[in-house]
Structure 1
Amino acid sequence: MNTLDTDAYMQPEAAGEGASRTEAAYQELRQRILSLDLAPGALTLETELAAMLGMSRTPLREAVIRLAQEGLVIPVPRRGIQVAPITERDVREINQVLACLEIEAVMIVAARPVRDEEIAALDSAIAAMDAALESDDIDGWGKADFRFHSLIFELCPNRHLNQTARLYLDKAHRARLLTLPYRRRPVYSNSNHAAVVEAIRRGDPETARDIHAAHKRRWSSELDQIIELYPSMFEPGSSLD
């Protein structure tokens, strides 16, 4: 059986076509990890991943280097790679960090002049959330909700806040998808986001901050309940037995 040779991960990928294949492998693997198509904690042989992507192992190895640097995979010597698990502690801490950043970002966005097209983008994300909720499309709701939160950071002019948020947004999305099946119907999230956008539209940073802070407190409480009731969601996705 062919297994992953971790020493090979140190060999650089050639430029040109090889680099393009590496980028394609990286993007495909990253998307599969972030969408939970490759489950948290799952162990997979390198040969299985190469077959899945329809690629040779060389671009795959380069892609894994990047994903490991981002904390999304863990190379397992002589066995394969492990998708980084999501632990209870991860979910709590990521939620705490992004809550602090996003409450501040909402206030900063509302304190500056906001263009019509920026408000329209936020409204569009909320409309997609509403439509998904009406059709019981929880996955679609999750994607639209992620878009809303991403937009808040994109519209915030504080570069350092944005750089910090980008370190956690993808990890937060994985955690959000993990907990999504266990959530109550998120009607409150939709109405909260709409109220935040209205405060941004009026240029009322204090109200925007207060509304969003209340939403984050409510979600933190619900998250605690989900973690207590469904600890099995943190179990690894599979093994290499």
Structure 2
Amino acid sequence: MHPKRVLPEPPAPRPEGLVGEAYEALKASVLDLSLPPGHETTEPLIAEQLGMSRTPVHAAVLRLEGEGFLRVLPRRGVRVSPIEPAGLRDAYGVLIALEAAAAEALAGRRGSGVLAGMRAANEACAAALAADDMADWAAADDRFHRLLVEGCGNPVLARLASSMADHAQRARTATARLRPRPTRSVAEHGAILDAIAAGDAEAAREATRRHRARASAEILAALGG
């Protein structure tokens, strides 16, 4: 029997109510591996840990099942889905195309105020690597890529990329110490930033595509895919 895992405190109340709070808390625990692949729990236990009734927890579980992060087990509870190389490869294919398009669009806008945040995220990546803190590196790397798509000016693209980025984030965290140290990422991020700042859309697209393709290949190899 798996030991109980303490979930983080639910986030501050949001307009979407308790379902949104339960969803965000559960999702955060899955993405940072507090609830690792294969872990089994129950909705009553989750509700108890979050201080909620089962109704919003059940809705959140169903939403995360639809996104591929959880699986409801009849009469047994809930299991965190494994990280499947085949599905992850497909997700990366979509994400690479979307991020490359986002970089191209962002270059056309010369960053439009987004570059400062992306530079700060890349500096955090470098600092985490220097401290050999791979959890902080994974978080900063994820922040860099999310800022890229969120700032591109295309909310539809950003929304589509978000789900794929969630799966990439979980895989990145799970393999951070199973693959070569990501020392090339900081320089590759820098090339993306330079191309965007210069307004070179083609270079920004290609630098982003190469970076994500290289990094995803390493992650998939670490997962045996």
TM-score (norm 1): 0.79
SS in structure 2 at match of 1:148 = helix
Alpha-carbon distance in 2 for matches of 1:56, 1:221: 42
Aligned to 1:134: 130
Higher helix share: 1
Aligned to 2:84: 87
1:36 is aligned to 2:27: no
Aligned to 1:55: 52
Question: What number of residue pairs does the alignment pair up?
Answer: 210
1:101 is aligned to 2:95: no
Aligned to 2:191: 195
Letter in 2 for 1:114: G
Cα separation, partners in 2 of 1:224 and 1:73, compared to 1, 3 Å: closer
Q: State the shift of 1:25 in Å.
A: 2.4
Aligned to 2:139: 143
Aligned to 1:155: 151
Q: Which of 211, 217, 223 matches 1:215?
A: 211
Deviation sequence 1:82-121 (CA, Å, 0-9, x none):
1222211122222221112111211121122333x32211
Deviation sequence 1:157-200 (CA, Å, 0-9, x none):
23332232123121221122122221211110011101110111
**Please, what is the CA RMSD of the aligned residues?**
2.1
SS in structure 2 at match of 1:81 = strand
Alpha-carbon distance in 1 for matches of 2:25, 2:93: 29
Aligned to 2:223: 227
Q: State the shift of 1:146 in Å.
A: 0.3
Q: Which has the higher contact order (CA 8 A, sep 6+)?
A: 1
Aligned to 1:234: none
**Greater Cα shift, 63-72 or 162-171:** 63-72
Aligned to 1:78: 75
Letter in 1 for 2:99: E
Q: State the shift of 1:224 in Å.
A: 4.4
Alpha-carbon distance in 2 for matches of 1:122, 1:148: 5
Deviation sequence 1:57-101 (CA, Å, 0-9, x none):
333223223323333222111110112222111222222211121
TM-score (norm 2): 0.84
Gaps of 5+ in 1: 1-18, 232-241
Alpha-carbon distance in 1 for matches of 2:196, 2:84: 35
SS in structure 2 at match of 1:55 = coil
Gaps of 5+ in 2: 1-15
Aligned to 1:165: 161
